[in-house]
Structure 1
Amino acid sequence: MSKEKLWTKDFLIVSTINFFLTLVFYLLVVIIGVFAVEEYGATPSQSGLVVGLFIVGALIGRLFTGRSIDSMGRRRTLFIGVIAFILATTLYFVDIGLPFLYINRLLHGLAYGIASTATGTIVAQVIPVSRKGEGIGYYSMSATLATAIGPFVGLYLSQHTGMNVIFSICLALGILSLITAFAVKLPSLPAEEETAEKKGFHISHFVEPRAIPIAIITLVAALCYSSVLSYINFYAIELNLVSVASFFFLVYSIAVLVSRPFTGRLMDARGANYVMYPAFLLFMIGMLLLGTTHNGFIFLFAGVLIGLGFGNIQSCTQAIAVKLTPPHRMGLATSTFFIFLDGGLGFGPYLLGLIVPITGYSMLYTILGLVVIVAAGLYFLLHGKKGKVVTAQSFAHE
């Protein structure tokens, strides 16, 4: 029996748009904190806020987009998000102080949240049910590529050119996303599904209850990973490993790219537990190594383990959230997943920035390595112990 087609035109187009948008996010995330310190004299906590406000904005964008995306239209929502993304990017050229940078980071994140919720919802619609885990794994690789290229390019450009050039590149990528979006064509969902669950006020209009347990796991894991996104550059400066740090996200992403095709198929065939528990173990070891090394090789090896760990936790939990949900609520399931992901990535830098002066970066990463164990325990309690086999058959929608 032949497999249902996965690599359709719309799947490739939406993945490309997601790549461009995420590339801008990761290009800026590793340098914007240092920029705030050097340009405005920001403290570590303030620089973490500059990083995190983008993701907080994305969280807000997802919260309301998940509710309205089906009534507004998924393609239309994508255009609204991308256009807002372009407008927010142009505001980086306005230099009137740290408070304005705070506001712009929030607005930029808001636009990203709208656009990326649209791409995540659209791609969940076009992936065949029997290949959900594999398809979302491949789609997530578009973001994984961005996590490799973005930080690498961002750190390289920050050492060789000014921020206006970097902002110009980000603006060009936003415009390219808009041009690409015109090629997206989607069939409508069945009419009876689109009109369901519209009356009254319910919390289920804003989040998908079935996705919340697995999203909580994502929140804790993302909180740990936010320390890598926000402070790896500062930590590398402290260790005198700046030249090595630019390759950290490259090896991280290579690890994810190599592993994800296998982990996606394994999840569809055997269930999520076969991917999640090894991923938690690798994530924990990677964080502990990162917190205890002064060696460039071990520094990069930690990036490989974190990629194998968190990179696969992220795609696996997203697939679980979508598979637990009926087709007409995929938008809410996707936004719920990303709300919790963004909560961890967005608030994490600010909260962790408050304790960095007490612990230092090395001890911070060591402590967070232990927190990963907590995330694994939560996964067992909230999902893993139920013995659900997360396959296409078990999650086929009635």
Structure 2
Amino acid sequence: MPHQTLPDQQTPVPLWTRDFLAICFSSFFVFMTFYMLAVTLPGYVLDELHGSKGQIGLVTTVFVIAAVVFRPLTGKWLDEGSRRKLLLTALVLYMICSALYLTVHSLTALLALRVLHGVSFGIAATATSAIAVDRVPAARKGEGVGYFSLFMSLAMVVGPYLGLMFTGSFSYTVLFAACAVLALLALVCGSTVRIPPHVPKPVTGHPWHWTRFIEPAAIPISLAGSVLAFSYGAISTFISVFAKEIGQGAIASYFFIVFAAMILISRPFTGRIFDRRGEHVLVYPGLVLFVVGMLLLSQAHTAAFFLFTGAVIGLGFGALLPSFQAIALKAAPAHRSGLATGTYFVLFDTGYGLGSYILGIVAAGTSYGTMYLVGAVITAFTVVLYYLLHHRKQNRAAAGRQAA
């Protein structure tokens, strides 16, 4: 009698397909360019354009505002139009903007370019994320989102390292040329992705109703992600300055290496845990690790302790970031996955920008150690938000199904 394969014994659907790898690398190169510029443009404004410290913040702010404005628009376009055309248009614009830094010689021109670059980044980052999610098998959603976000996490580390290396050993011209090359690689990788034709769902209601740009079901978990990003903004923006303040400036770059190493080590099993045991097993321990790591960082004075806090924070952040994004996607209808992705990152980016600015004011009035202490307290409220906005709602839904 021939052997029959039972439904639960079927061969697992592959995750690491050519298309999934291509979109992951496209996203990686987009974020590499973003982080290389994020850590080097402050010095460029001061040293080359002779701007002020206030103008440094403006260069960052206009970029973030442009990206945040266009993320929800991108979610709408992803769900209602051609995803391939949108992706390629954004990547071409992103490449052109990256190359135009070579021609900038005034602060006004830089600000105008940052606005346009922010627009292309907001569209490209949202599009690559939504397309990557579509290439992930439904049964491996948590694992797939985890690996995709790993590429972004690695860019957070490699990008600043390369940016500082280029400006320290070469020049801003070499830096901007490298950014243009990386943006070109993002375009090349993105253009090879096979994106199935997307059948838009018929549009109903007012064309400019807010639900055409924001996915309501993704808002609760996105709010929790926004609070997490608020504190993370202080880490990515001020860690090198804090390291110098405590006499550890020489090892500041290693903080991010340790941070990324913990994400890399944990990512293979965190995605599987999400799919098999649910999100709560990851989120609550992840929040505890992140808060404890921030508290320890506020008290760091030695090199070993400073790097140890990077490991603790990295382990917590590595569990939280993909989990929150996967929850946002699971909460939304399948045909609104693009909007869910855009909604999540709108609130995440907003929290990141506000955190960098507000906690920077806290640091200016007190100290960087106090700033990280405040960040830890704020992040602790994410536990409450997560329970009230997601966990409790999930429990009520489960109780309702049992009663029925």
Whether the TM-score (by the shorter chain) exceeds 0.5 is yes
Q: 1:183 aligned to 2:192?
A: yes
Write the deviation string for residues 83-131 of structure 1: whole angstroms up to 9, x where unpaired: 1111211232234433433332232121111111111111111111111
1:37-89, Cα deviation, whole Å (9 max, x unpaired): 44445555543343343333221221211111233311111111111111211
Cα contact 1:88–1:104 (8 A) shared by 2: yes
The residue that corresponds to 1:307 in the other structure is 314
Pair 1:65-2:74 in alignment: yes
**Partner Cα separation in structure 2 for residue 279 and residue 312 of structure 1:** 6
1:55 and 1:345 in contact (8 A); partners too:
no
Select the residue among 128, 146, 151 that pairs with 1:119: 128
- Asked if the contact 1:85–1:108 (Cα under 8 Å) also holds between the matched residues in 2, the reply is yes
Q: Structure 1: how far apart are the matches of 2:229 and 2:54? A: 18
User: In the TM superposition, what are the counterparts of 1:30-179 in structure 2 within 5 Å?
Assistant: 30-40=39-49, 42=51, 44-179=53-188
Instruction: Give, in whole Å, the separation in 1 of the partners of 2:60 and 2:297.
Output: 21
Q: Distance in 2 between matches of 1:170 and 1:188?
A: 31
Shift of 1:317: 0.5
User: Do 1:30 and 1:229's aligned partners in 2 also have CA atoms closer than 8 Å?
Assistant: no
Aligned partner of residue 383 in structure 1, secondary structure: helix
CA deviations on 1:295-332 (whole Å, 9 max, x unpaired) are 11111111111211223211110000111112210110
| Amino acid of the structure 2 residue aligned with 1:118 | A
List runs of 5+ in structure 1 lacking aligned partners: none
1:283-305 deviation per Cα after TM superposition (whole angstroms, max 9, x unaligned): 11111122211211111111111
Pairwise CA RMSD:
2.1
Corresponding residue for residue 326 of structure 1: 333
- Identity of aligned pairs, percent? 37
* Offset of residue 367 of structure 1: 0.8
Q: Bigger shift: 303-312 or 210-219?
A: 303-312
Q: Which runs of 5+ in 2 are unaligned?
A: 1-8
Q: Is the 8 A contact 2:49 2:105 kept in 1?
A: no
Q: Tell me, yes or no, if the aligned pair for 2:67 and 2:119 is still in contact at 8 Å.
A: yes
**Secondary structure at the counterpart of residue 247 of structure 1:** helix
Is 1:248 equivalent to 2:271 in the alignment? no
Residue 238 of structure 1: how far off its partner (Å): 2.2
CA distance, structure 1, for counterparts of residue 310 and residue 396 of structure 2: 30
Alpha carbons of structure 1 residues 311 and 104: separation in structure 2 relative to 1, 3 Å: farther
Aligned residues of 1:217 and 1:378 also touching (Cα < 8 A): yes
> What is the rounded CA distance, in whole Å, between the counterparts of 1:312 and 1:53 in structure 2?
30
What is the identity, as a one-letter code, of the residue corresponding to 2:229? A
- The reply on whether 1:12 has 2:30 as its aligned counterpart is no
Stretch deviating more after TM superposition (38-47 or 169-178) = 38-47
CA spacing shift, 1:52–1:276, aligned 2, 3 Å: farther
Matched, 1:317 2:324: yes
Shift of 1:280: 0.7
Q: 2:241 aligns with which of 231, 234, 238?
A: 234
Q: Structure 2: how far apart are the matches of 1:153 and 1:377?
A: 38
How far, CA to CA, are the matches of 2:276 and 2:204 in structure 1?
32
TM-score (norm 2): 0.90
Number of the residue aligned with 2:370 = 363
Q: Which moved more, 1:37-46 or 1:333-342?
A: 37-46
Which segment drifts farther, 226-235 or 39-48? 39-48
Say which of 210, 219, 234 aligns to 1:203.
210
The structural deviation recorded for 1:139 is 0.9
SS at match of 1:240: coil
| Contact map agreement 1:53 1:346 (CA 8 A) in 2 | no
Distance across 2 between alignment mates of 1:105 and 1:286? 33
Offset of 1:201 from its aligned partner?
3.3
Which has the higher mean CA deviation after the structures are superposed, 300-309 or 162-171? 300-309
Q: What is the rounded CA distance, in whole Å, between the counterparts of 2:246 and 2:111 in structure 1?
A: 29
1:196 Cα deviation after fit: 4.8
Conserved? CA contact 2:286–2:319, under 8 Å? yes
Look up the equivalent residue of 2:243 and give its one-letter code.
A
89-98 or 300-309: bigger deviation: 89-98
| Superposed CA offset, 1:159-202 (max 9, x none) | 2121111111000011111122221112224x4x5335475432
Shift, 1:386, TM fit: 3.1
Are 1:275 and 2:282 an aligned pair?
yes
**Is 2:79–2:337's contact at 8 Å kept on the other side of the alignment?**
no
Count of residue pairs brought into register by the alignment = 389
8 A Cα contact 2:359 2:375, kept in partner? no
**TM-score relative to the length of structure 1:** 0.92
For residues 372 and 247 of structure 1, the distance between their equivalents in structure 2, rounded to whole angstroms, comes to 24
- d(CA) in 2 for partners of 1:363, 1:164: 37
Match of 2:353 in 1: 346
Larger radius of gyration: 2
